[in-house]
């Protein structure tokens, strides 16, 4: 299932896109303000972001820069009425993967979304087989971990947590984000399961690999 975050404040356009995507088997979520778009995109729950540049709260280009600045790699397609070439250039320079101008045909939007998703999943399965940080190698095929010369066994949940950190080096991950991504269910906000598992990883992979960022969460040393 592909999850698309639609950041769009114009109800008519948003519902047109949502209906179309749902009828093609996508799961969608709508953000109508810049703040919501940022929060949801950084939550890491989506395979692609459709971004209107004129959202209340903040300019779309700033949203893009903030997402990319925080290491968020979700594919982003800009969908905007700004159709001049310098707008497009600015969009790509801020980290967009594609740019579509309104008015648009749904078929073309769908084709572009599919092309982006193909690229990003293709990249994951064919190119990125190993993730590296601080002398630790995660082999995504065999799901084995090497620490220097040693091979370390990680139970499934610990491996997924490690992979989540390794896919976002240098980026602060909140406990909530980690719970969402690794455990993926509603949790007791008072739960310390993330802290416990980070402790396991530190013990097995090296005590200084994952830093605590006070009041915010954890970060893999870039
Ligand atoms: Ca708008």
Domain ranges of the chain: 3-120, 130-220
106 C-alpha to ligand 1 centroid (Å): 17
Give per-residue pLDDT as tens, 191-201.
888 999 999 99
CATH number for the region 3-120 comes to 3.40.50.2300
52 C-alpha to ligand 1 centroid (Å): 6
Mean pLDDT of the chain: 88
For domain 130-220, the CATH architecture is Orthogonal Bundle (1.10)
94 C-alpha to ligand 1 centroid (Å): 18
Please list the helix, strand and coil fractions of the chain in percent, rounded to the nearest 5, in that order. Answer: 45, 25, 35
CB 77, CB 98: distance < 8 Å: yes
8 burial (CB, 10 Å; 0-12 / 13-18 / 19+) is buried
Which tops the pLDDT comparison, 190 or 74? 74
pLDDT of 73 above 50: yes
- In angstroms, rounded to a whole number, what is the distance separating the alpha carbons of residues 196 and 132? 23
150 C-alpha to ligand 1 centroid (Å): 53
2 C-alpha to ligand 1 centroid (Å): 24
Would you state the pLDDT for residue 123?
A: 42
CB 109, CB 102: distance < 8 Å: no
Average pLDDT for 118-128: 56
pLDDT of 116 above 50: yes
55 C-alpha to ligand 1 centroid (Å): 5
The angle formed by the CA atoms of residues 222, 156 and 176, to the nearest 5 degrees, is 60
Would you state the pLDDT for residue 186?
A: 59
Of 216, 136, 210, 138, which is closest to residue 173 (Cα–Cα)?
A: 216
The single-letter DSSP state of residue 13 is H
The separation between CA 205 and the C-alpha centre of its own chain, rounded to angstroms, equals 24
In Å, the largest CA–CA distance within the chain is: 58
Would you state the pLDDT for residue 127?
A: 46
C-alpha neighbours within 13 Å on the C-beta side of residue 30? 15
- In angstroms, rounded to a whole number, what is the distance separating the alpha carbons of residues 192 and 107? 46
Give per-residue pLDDT as tens, 177-192.
888 778 765 567 678 8
27 C-alpha to ligand 1 centroid (Å): 21
8 C-alpha to ligand 1 centroid (Å): 6
Q: Do domains 3-120 and 130-220 have the same CATH topology?
A: no
Helix ranges (DSSP H) in 59-134: 60-69, 85-93, 106-122
Secondary element (H or E) of residue 165: helix 156-166
- In angstroms, rounded to a whole number, what is the distance separating the alpha carbons of residues 134 and 166? 10
């Amino acid at each position: 299932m592909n999850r698309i975050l639609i950041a769009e404040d114009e109800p008519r356009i948003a519902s047109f896109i949502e209906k179309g995507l749902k009828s093609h088997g996508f799961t969608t979520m709508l953000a109508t303000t810049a703040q919501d778009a940022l929060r949801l995109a950084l939550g890491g729950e989506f395979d692609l972001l459709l971004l209107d540049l004129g959202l209340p709260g903040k300019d779309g280009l700033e949203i893009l820069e903030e997402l990319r600045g925080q290491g968020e790699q979700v594919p982003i397609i800009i969908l905007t009425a700004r159709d001049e070439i310098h707008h497009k250039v600015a969009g790509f320079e801020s980290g967009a993967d594609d740019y579509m101008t309104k008015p648009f045909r749904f078929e073309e939007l769908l084709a572009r979304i599919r092309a982006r998703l193909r690229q990003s999943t293709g990249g994951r399965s064919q190119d990125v087989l190993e993730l590296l940080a601080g002398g630790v190698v995660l082999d995504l095929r065999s799901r084995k971990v090497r620490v220097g010369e040693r091979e370390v066994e990680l139970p499934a949940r610990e491996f997924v947590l490690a992979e989540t950190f390794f896919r976002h080096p240098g980026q602060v991950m909140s406990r909530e984000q980690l719970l969402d991504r690794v455990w993926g269910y509603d949790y007791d906000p008072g739960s310390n399961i993330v802290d416990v598992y980070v402790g396991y990883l530190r013990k097995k992979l090296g005590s200084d690999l994952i830093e605590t960022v006070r009041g915010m969460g954890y970060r893999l040393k870039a």
